[in-house]
Structure 1
């Protein structure tokens, strides 16, 4: 005789008795549970930081705001942002790699103290001033690469660093290095077009959020997107690109979804759970250089022909067959952005303040800082470069003195804050 179903209990028909359902104590320390707790802690810390920034933000009454607009004094929020960015001062070089003629790319994590940087070919695994993380013995000396370093990306867990090279002359062009002193794993990958002995040109890479089953994604000229899981194994990727992939970013709230910026201006939303990557996306008005998430449903796209726009992902429509290819209508434009021809310039986003920092090519180079809500320029740093020179890497860094900006300029990494 079968017993009644009682919530929290299991009825054994052979023994004709109920047993209470209890969780396995070992499950609390499983790899999945530990990873989930780690991801939840990061999400909670980010939410607390955003809430703290919101509470400390200077607010003004509605009546004063209306009077300011009538008198032509502008938006109070913009004034606050301009004062904030205008208060940044150059702190000088963060560090200098001896014997190296030029900085190119870097990535940094203030919490762990890691600073991984490169000149044209050589990579240095270092640390921030005043912080000394345990550097694995195999990374104490500079790593000498085989070709020009294209990008350096730290994983969301800060346990791995992804290095990519532009053209390694038939050898591996992707490397994942462990930053854990107790883990000596270094993984190597060779991206090349199908049925071709020649290397492809790697264009971009990004780290997946902590709550994602993936770790990194790498885009190139004529290969499918390379996606690595938590064990650094290649996973099934979408079909081959119809256009080179020049920019990549994961969506924080949808960790299975990638935005892939193309030379054609298309930015498909690639769902890695769907065969073929799914459908739909954005069509930017120019070739794409960078893509970054600026809100739960918004992304900023930097492209050629001086274009930078913010798009709302909630109002995208799938293209109808036979319909004219028209650019997606943005919600905000950054009219002062200056990049006519370069794909290898960077932008960075701080979601807490709503600031976007974008490297400039024309007009003295440097970095312009924009408000994501209005598109207005609220600051300018690291200018005065020679014609044709420009900043390669931009990172928002929050230290003891608050939010600041680090940029690679000439032979130095400069800090502003």
Structure 2
């Protein structure tokens, strides 16, 4: 049974590489046995959404979105049979946050590392089959197919069919719809930044932590390092406004990498009395920056790659060996969302993790304004709101659910 919905559809980018995001009326397919139907309340916009939308050889048209929050409205027949790690049972009406899909069966999942699921690429990027058709029984459309399944959720719509293992049950944790709006981005960007510091890199108060790139992920890393009490928190960016914000959130050293002709490595070593940063985190994916970052990492230090890039790093093997450095790749900071998301919420409530200072809300109709303000740095984390409408038809959805068709 198809469900009428509204979603932001991404089409092929323009010739100059600009992505296309358009709000449309669609029909969403029925859920599979391992999925739940989610009434989406809010969706965070992530740079990964933009990067995928800008690829000329991508799957289009498509609904993206992987930082969703909402309420369970229908549960698949086999949901709960293979949930790993153990989580609260899912029930209709439960508030939920959405995170990254994983299989729950592979060695990584079974050993408590679902972020490194061996099927993660397939589950997050390759489920591109038709999930929608354009138009609904309430609104005209061409009936053409639209792909879904992005990160197991495609949550840039007011309804989503979501893989069971993407769902973090917030029953008894989240108080109301307003908190669901605020907490929507916790399942990906903020979790990635904070957990990279606290779980993957295992930062301690004795560490000097350098974070390169101060978007939502980088600023979450800053906040986590402050919570841990790291002796130095070095914020690196080329935009002064981002550096100012990082200082407000806990950075102790600010470096504008465009103002250091001798190079980023020299600037960090000067700030650390020649030692270098014991933990270095790159969120940019820019190869020239990464090469400097690897050099500025201290003896026995950890260099963490968090940004996306297809480039190859050049490493002097003998020098690398003699310094005992560790090179790590971060996916979600190796966090288990069902454990780490409630931890971040607790930090927020204690005043330690002020994500409200990074978030700006937008109507779905204003998605392109949100993307532009994100691009120019006017907002750190745009969150798209999917508001209820009290005067629309509900089709065959449960009667308590109001589908927003506009």
Both proteins in one fold, TM over 0.5? no
TM-score range, shorter chain: under 0.3
Tell me which protein shows more strand as a share of its residues: 1
Which is bigger in relative contact order (C-alpha 8 A, separation at least 6)? 2
Tell me which protein shows more helix as a share of its residues: 2
Q: TM-score, normalization: structure 2?
A: 0.24
